[in-house]
Amino acid sequence: MPTCQDCRFYTAIDEIKGECFSLGFEVRGKTDSKKCPERAFRPNKGPKSKKAGAARY
């Protein structure tokens, strides 16, 4: 199952928590993506991901 850490909007603060860009507050990295409060989860891997595209440069 994907977690918040796997979302393109997630930015790690430390090993346990990070900031969710789309929500504007801290979240736990291991939170299940199905529990995303605003259903804003977007995978950071794949052809439509902004983070995946950055690896190609």
pLDDT at 11 over 80: yes
Q: What is the mean pLDDT of the chain?
A: 78
Please report, for the chain, the start and end positions of each structural domain, with discontinuous segments joined by +: 2-33
Task: Kindly indicate the confidence band of residue 54, based on its pLDDT and cuts at 50, 70 and 90.
Answer: very low
- pLDDT tens digits, residue range 34-53? 888 778 888 887 655 555 44
pTM over 0.75: no
Rounded to 5 degrees, what angle do the CA atoms 54, 40, 37 make?
Answer: 140
The separation between CA 26 and the C-alpha centre of its own chain, rounded to angstroms, equals 11
**pLDDT above 90 covers what percent of the chain?**
18
